Structure 1
Amino acid sequence: MKNLFTSLFAALLLLLGTIVAQAQTIRRVNNTSTNVVGVNVYNTLQAAHDAASAGDVIYLEPSNISYGALVCVRPLTIIGNGYYLTQNTGLQLDTRESLVDAVTFASGSAGSRITGCTLNSSMNIGASNVTVERNRFASGYAYIGYNPSTGSVGASNIIFRQNIMENGYSVSLYPGSSTATAVSNVNITNNILSGGVSSSGQYARMTNILISNNVIGALSSPASQYGIDVDNAVIKNNILIYTGTGTNFSPRNNAYSYNIAGNAAFGTANGNQQNVTPANLFVGGTASTDGAYQLRTGSPAIGTGESGTDVGAFGGVLPYRLSGIPNVPTIYQYSQSVSGNTLNATINTRSNN
C-alpha cells in the first residue's frame, strides 16, 4: 500500500509538472521509507533546499516524521499536504501532515512561498516578498522582520494569510530601531490566530500594515487576553474573541472599522460591534478544529463587514480554507477492483483554489 501511495503521488507530480514553468524543477521530500529513491528525492527539507535552484518547487510528502528545520537563502515554493485531514474528511487520500521544525527565510529568499505545512517551531521571516499561506502553527510564533542569527533585519511586502496558530502563539512584527530594519507593506488576512498580532514595540518603524478578516483568540478560552498591538495599520473585519475587560487593543495610529469584539475593545463607531458573545458567532461544538470558527446561522458577523462581506476568517475575497489544502491539484479518493487478470483503478482528483 505504501508503494501504491508513492506511485499515486508520483502520478500527481506528473500532472503538476504540466502546469509549472519548464525552468522549475520539482523536488520531492520523503522520509517514510529507505526505499524511496529517484532523481530529486531527498530525506530532509534542508537537503532539498540545498540542492535546489531559484524558482524550484519542493513537495513535502505526507509523513508522521518531521522533515526538520530550514534556513532558506533562495526563492523557492514549498508545498505540504495540509492538516486536520482526519477531521475534515474527503480532502486528501493520505491524511498525514507535512511536518517541519523552525523555518527561517533569510537574505536571498525573497519571492519564496510556503503552504500546506505544519510547523512544530517558530517561523522567522527575514526577507521581503515572502508569502506564508494555509499553514498550521502547532507550536511557535511567526516573526516578521527577524532573523534569529542577526536580530531585526526589516522586511516588506509580506503576505501572511489563511493560516491557523494554536496554543496562544501570535504573529509578531519585529521592526528594529533604525529605518534599515523597518517592517512595511504587510498583509495579515483570513487567519485564525489564537495569540493575536503583537510587535517588538518599535511602532514608528511599522507602515502600511493590513490586518483584515482574522479571528483572534481561542473559543476554548474566551476569557484569556489576546489582542492586536501594532501601529500605522488598517484593521477591519476582524473578530476578537476576548471577553475580559483588560486592554487588548490600543487605537494609537490605526484605522479600525467593521470589527467585532467580545468586549468593548473597538467600540461601536465605524461599523464596529462590541460585547458580542463568541458562542453567538461560530458553529463551534463538534466541528473540526478550524471548522469551529465558521459562522453559524444568524451570526452577527454575517454580512456586517466592509462592503457587506462576512466578518472573520471565512469572509472576504480569499476566505480561510479548511485544512490548509494548497491550491494545487490533489488526489482525494482512490478505488480499485480486480476482474480476472485486470486491475481496474479509479483516481479522483480536484483542483484547489
Structure 2
Amino acid sequence: MYLAQHIRSIQLFKYSLAISFVLIGFFTSLATVITVDNNENSGALYSSIQVAIDDATVGDTIIVAGSETTYDGFTLNKKLVLIGAGYQSTEDAQFGFTTKVNHMVIKNENPALDLNASGSHIEGFYVNGVVTTAGGNYRYISVGFEGTESNTLTNVTFTRNRCESVHLSYFSNIKIYNNILDNIGYAPNYNSVYGDYPFGSNLLVANNIFTGGVARVKGSQIFINNLFIGSDQVYDVFFSGVGITNQASGIVFSNNILWGRATGGASNVALTHNLVLTSEGGETFDYGTNSTGNNLENVNPKFVDVPEFALDFSYDYRLAEDSPCKGTGSDGTEMGIFGGPYPFPSAGDVPNVIVTESRIPKITDFNIRSAAVPEGSSIEIDLKARVSNNQ
C-alpha cells in the first residue's frame, strides 16, 4: 500500500512539474497549481473537480490526472485554467489514462460575487456524459457555456477536448478549436453545437472534427477549417433545416470539409471555400438565401488514408499533395483541420496524426540522484521532457 502511494505521489509530482512548464509559457506570472486525482492514495490535493473549483482562487490552475474512473460533472463559475491529461488513451499518455468527466457547465452567474468563469481556459478533457437542462427535449448537453441576460460569459477558450455536444447562450468571444465534437451519449448523430435564443456574438469554431452538425446558431459567428464527418447523408450539417436559421445574418462558414455530411439546413449564411462529398452525390451549397463562392461540390478531398465516412484514429486525415483542398482556403492555406488559424495538432504518421493529449509536456526520464540527503539539503533531480506539439 505504501509503495503504491509513493509511486503515485511521484507521478503526480512529475505531472505538477510538467504543468509548471506550461504555466511559464501561458502566463506572465505563476498562479497556484491545484491537483485533482480520483485514484486511491493518489497524493493529490483533491479527488473532486467541483470541490477543487470551489476552493480555488480566481486565476488558479487546476490539473486533473487521467483515471480509469470518470469524474463527476462540475460547474465552473470563476476564472480558472483547467487542464486534463487528454481524451484518448495512448502509450505516450502521462498516466496512460484519459481525463473523463461526466459533464461541465461554464457560467457567468454573478460577477459582483466573483461567480464568473469569463477568461477561463479548458483543455484536455473527455466529456463522456450529458446533463439535461430545463426546457425542450433537445437540450441534452455535454458542455454548456452559459451567461445570463445581464451577465455575458466572455473570453473562454475550449481546446483539445472531446465531447458530444456544446450548448451556448449569452456569450461573447468564445474560442472552440482543436476539439472532437461528437455524439457520445444521448441521441447518436445528434447536433454537436447549438445555441439558445438569444444567442451571443463572436464565436470562433475552428479546426475541429465534428460527427454531428450545427443547430440554432445566429449572429456574428465564424465556423472555419472544420471537418464534418457523417454516416453518409444521414443528417444535414445544419441539422435538418432548423440549424442556422433565417436570423443568422453575419455567420461565416468557410474552409470546411463535409465528408459524408449533407449540406442542407442553412439560410442567410456565407458559404465559401468549402468542400462536400457523399456517396450519393448531388450536394450543393448554392441554395436558398445563402451567399456562396469557391466551393467544391461532390469532389474527393483526397485524404492520405480515410477509406470510409467515419472517425477512426487509425485513419490519416491529412491531405495528399494532389488534394484539391491544398491552397484553396480563403486565407491561401488548405481547407480542413490542418489549415487556417489553429491547425490541428499532429505528431506525424498514424497513430499520431491527431494529437489527443493536452499541452502538458511529458516527462520521459526522471531520476533522483540520491535516495537520502541530510535535512535542509537540496535534492538533485535529472529529467527529460517532450512536448506534445505545444502549439
TM-score bracket relative to the smaller structure: 0.7 to 0.9
Work out which of the residue numbers 306, 310, 314 in structure 2 matches 1:284.
Answer: 306
Distance (whole Å) between structure 2 residues aligned to residue 17 and residue 157 of structure 1: 22
Alignment of 1:17-32 (within 5 A): 18-19=24-25, 20-22=27-29, 24-32=31-39
Pairwise CA distance, 1:265? 2.8
Q: For residues 297 and 3 of structure 1, do their structure 2 counterparts lie closer, same or farther at Cα, with a shift above 3 Å needed? A: same
Work out which of the residue numbers 224, 232, 235 in structure 1 matches 2:253.
Answer: 235
**Residue equivalent to 2:225:** 213
Pairwise CA distance, 1:310? 0.7
Distance (whole Å) between structure 1 residues aligned to residue 215 and residue 38 of structure 2: 35
Pairwise CA distance, 1:50? 0.4
Pairwise CA distance, 1:349? 2.8
Deviates more, 1:93-102 or 1:1-10: 1-10
Matched, 1:194 2:249: no
Pairwise CA distance, 1:299? 2.1
**Residue equivalent to 1:56:** 60
Distance (whole Å) between structure 1 residues aligned to residue 121 and residue 19 of structure 2: 18
CA contact (8 A) 2:177 2:207 kept: yes
Alignment of 1:77-116 (within 5 A): 77-86=81-90, 90=92, 92-107=93-108, 108-116=116-124
Distance (whole Å) between structure 2 residues aligned to residue 308 and residue 53 of structure 1: 43
Pairwise CA distance, 1:82? 1.6
SS at match of 1:308: coil
Alignment of 1:134-283 (within 5 A): 134-137=160-163, 140-145=164-169, 154-167=170-183, 168-176=189-197, 181-199=198-216, 206-218=218-230, 221-228=231-238, 229-230=243-244, 231-232=248-249, 233-242=251-260, 248-250=264-266, 252-262=267-277, 263=281, 264-267=283-286, 270-277=293-300, 280-283=302-305
CA contact (8 A) 1:226 1:242 kept: no
CA contact (8 A) 2:14 2:363 kept: no
Pairwise CA distance, 1:14? 4.5
TM-score scaled by structure 1? 0.80
Alignment of 1:336-347 (within 5 A): 346-347=383-384
TM-score scaled by structure 2? 0.73
Gaps of 5+ in 1: 146-153
Q: For residues 35 and 326 of structure 1, do their structure 2 counterparts lie closer, same or farther at Cα, with a shift above 3 Å needed? A: closer
Q: For residues 318 and 290 of structure 1, do their structure 2 counterparts lie closer, same or farther at Cα, with a shift above 3 Å needed? A: farther
CA contact (8 A) 1:115 1:324 kept: no
Residue 323 of structure 1 aligns with an amino acid whose one-letter code is: V
Residue 313 of structure 2 aligns with an amino acid whose one-letter code is: T
Distance (whole Å) between structure 2 residues aligned to residue 63 and residue 76 of structure 1: 22
Matched, 1:308 2:332: yes
CA contact (8 A) 2:38 2:71 kept: yes
Pairwise CA distance, 1:344? 9.2
Distance (whole Å) between structure 2 residues aligned to residue 243 and residue 6 of structure 1: 42
Q: Deviations over 1:12-71 (max 9, x none)?
A: 24444655454621111111123514xxx1111101100011111111112111221111
Distance (whole Å) between structure 1 residues aligned to residue 60 and residue 315 of structure 2: 33
SS at match of 1:227: coil
CA contact (8 A) 1:282 1:292 kept: yes
**Residue equivalent to 2:134:** none
- % identical equivalent positions: 25
**Residue equivalent to 1:150:** none
Distance (whole Å) between structure 1 residues aligned to residue 337 and residue 49 of structure 2: 30
Distance (whole Å) between structure 2 residues aligned to residue 61 and residue 69 of structure 1: 15
CA RMSD of aligned residues (A): 3.2
CA contact (8 A) 1:267 1:273 kept: no
Residue 196 of structure 2 aligns with an amino acid whose one-letter code is: P
Distance (whole Å) between structure 2 residues aligned to residue 165 and residue 243 of structure 1: 15
Residue 106 of structure 2 aligns with an amino acid whose one-letter code is: F
Gaps of 5+ in 2: 1-6, 109-115, 130-141, 148-152, 184-188, 346-353, 373-379
Q: Which has the higher contact order (CA 8 A, sep 6+)?
A: 1
Work out which of the residue numbers 17, 39, 46 in structure 2 matches 1:42.
Answer: 46
Aligned length: 321
Distance (whole Å) between structure 1 residues aligned to residue 191 and residue 383 of structure 2: 43
Q: Deviations over 1:280-315 (max 9, x none)?
A: 335225995286332234222222111321111111
Q: For residues 175 and 33 of structure 1, do their structure 2 counterparts lie closer, same or farther at Cα, with a shift above 3 Å needed? A: same
Pairwise CA distance, 1:166? 2.5
Q: Deviations over 1:235-276 (max 9, x none)?
A: 1000112366xx6242x2111210001142324962100012
CA contact (8 A) 1:196 1:217 kept: no
Residue 361 of structure 2 aligns with an amino acid whose one-letter code is: T
